[in-house]
Amino acid sequence: QVQLVESGGGLVQPGGSLRLSCAASGSIFRLYVMGWYRQAPGKQRELVAVITSGSRLNYADSVKGRFLISRDNAKNTVYLQMNSLKPEDTAVYYCNAHIATMDYWGQGTQVTVSS
């Protein structure tokens, strides 16, 4: 069982920045594919960014050039740096850990972009 705890959400004005963190339990964090997903009200959960165990990156088109995913295997933590935030980025952001056939999810953190 992998436990994921997100932090760093909040209210920010358009054009602002936030950094989300996700701390994971387990001794094999370095092997996990880690991802950030988001779900806005009335919409399906969507992929935001993924980083593999080899640090390959993948981003949704809507966040390319604005968001950066990274990981620190020594701290069992994955980050999502979000810049130039837009109102349409408002959502609950979820951390995901994937290994073999298993998926684990955090509880989510709210990000609200509004003036």
pLDDT at 67: 98
pLDDT at 1: 84
pLDDT at 4: 96
pLDDT at 27: 82
Instruction: Tell me the two tokens of residue 38.
Output: 């988001």
Place of tokens 């165990």: 53
DSSP 22-43: EEE-SS-GGGSEEEEEEE-TTS
pLDDT at 89: 98
What pLDDT digit, counting tens, does each position of 19-41 carry? 999 999 988 898 899 999 999 99
Cβ atoms of residues 51 and 22 within 8 Å? no
pLDDT at 26: 82
Angle at 37 between CA 10 and CA 34, to 5 degrees: 110
Q: Which parts of the chain sit beneath pLDDT 70?
A: none
Place of tokens 């979000």: 82
Q: Which is it for strands 10-12 and 57-59: parallel, antiparallel or unpaired?
A: unpaired
